[in-house]
Chains A and B, each alone.
Chain A
Amino acid sequence: MTRPLSDGSTSGRGLVVGLVLGVPVMLVGVRSAVVDARDTHPAELSRWLIGAAAGHDLVLLPVIGTLAWTLRRVVPAAAWPAARAGAIVIGTLALVSWPYARGYGASPGNPSLLPRDYVLGPVVASAAIAAATAVVALVAFVRHRRRIS
Chain B
Amino acid sequence: MTQDPVDTRAGAWLGLALGITFGLCFATGLWSHVLQHPPDWFTPPPRPAGLYRLTQGLHVATGTAAIPLLLAKLWVVRRRLTEWPPVRSVVHAVERLALLPLVGGAVFLLLSGTANVARWYPWHFYFPAAHYAAAWITVGALVVHVGAKAGTTMAVVRRPGPGPSAEPGERARSDRRAFLLGVAAASGTLVVATAGGTVPVLSPVSVLAQRRPGQGPQGLPVNKTAAAAEVVDAALDPAYRLVISGPAGERALSLAELRALPQHQARLPISCVEGWSATARWRGVRVQDLLALVDAADAEAVLVESLQRSGRYRASRLSGAHIRDADTLLALELDGEALDLDHGFPARLIAPGRPGVLQTKWVARLVLP
Contacts and interface: CB of A to CB of B under 8 A. Distances in A.
Interface secondary structure of B, over-half rule: helix
B183 A88 contact: yes
Given A30-B137, A41-B124, A52 B107 contact: yes
Contacts of A65: 78
Contacts of A28: 136, 140
A96 B67 contact: yes
A29 B134 CA distance: 6
Contact of A45 (B5, B133, B205, B217): B133
Interface stretch (B43-51, B94-102, B245-253, B326-334): B94-102
Nearest to A128: B205
A50 B105 CA distance: 8
B189 A25 contact: no
A148 interface: no
A84 B182 contact: yes
Nearest to B99: A53
B105 A49 contact: yes
Interface residues of A, number: 83
Interface string A116-137: 1010011011000100000000
A53 B207 contact: no
Contacts of A51: 104
A149 interface: no
Contacts of B123: 41, 44, 48
Contacts of B186: 88-89, 91-93
Nearest to B127: A39
A16 B98 CA distance: 12
B297 interface: no
A79 to B, nearest CB: 11
Contacts of A139: none
Given A41-B130, A56-B74, A104-B119, A113 B210 contact: yes
B20 interface: no
Interface string B213-248: 001110011111101100000000000000000000
Contacts of B222: 110, 112-113
A116 B165 contact: no
A56 B126 contact: no
A8 B11 contact: yes
A64 B228 contact: no
A1 B161 CA distance: 11
A22 interface: yes
A97 B193 CA distance: 10
Interface in A88-104: 88-89, 91-93, 95-97, 99-100, 102, 104
Contacts of A18: 98, 143-148
Nearest to B142: A22
Contacts of B212: 112, 115-116
A105 B98 CA distance: 34
Contact of A99 (B120, B146, B148): B120
Interface string B1-27: 011010111010000000000000000
Given A10-B92, A105-B118, A39 B163 contact: no
Contacts of A92: 67-68, 71, 186, 189-190
B152 interface: yes
B175 interface: yes
Given A113-B210, A122-B207, A11 B149 contact: yes
B130 A96 contact: no
B228 to A, nearest CB: 6
B182 A85 contact: yes
Interface of A: 1-2, 4-12, 14-19, 21-30, 32-33, 36, 39-41, 44-45, 48-53, 55-57, 60-61, 64-65, 81-82, 84-89, 91-93, 95-97, 99-100, 102, 104-107, 109-116, 118, 121-122, 124-125, 129
Given A39-B126, A45-B133, A56-B74, 9 more contacts: A8-B11, A22-B145, A45-B130, A48-B108, A61-B75, A81-B175, A89-B186, A104-B119, A112-B220
Interface of B: 2-3, 5, 7-9, 11, 64, 67-68, 71-72, 74-75, 77-78, 80-81, 91-92, 94-95, 98, 100-101, 103-105, 107-108, 111-112, 114-115, 118-120, 122-126, 129-130, 132-152, 155-156, 159, 161-166, 174-175, 178-179, 181-183, 185-186, 189-190, 193-194, 205, 207-212, 215-217, 220-225, 227-228, 342
**A-B pairs, 5 with minimum CB distance:** A18-B147, A105-B119, A85-B182, A29-B136, A26-B140
13 contacts: A6-B155, A8-B7, A14-B148, A18-B146, A21-B147, A27-B140, A32-B129, A45-B125, A45-B133, A64-B71, A85-B181, A99-B120, A122-B193
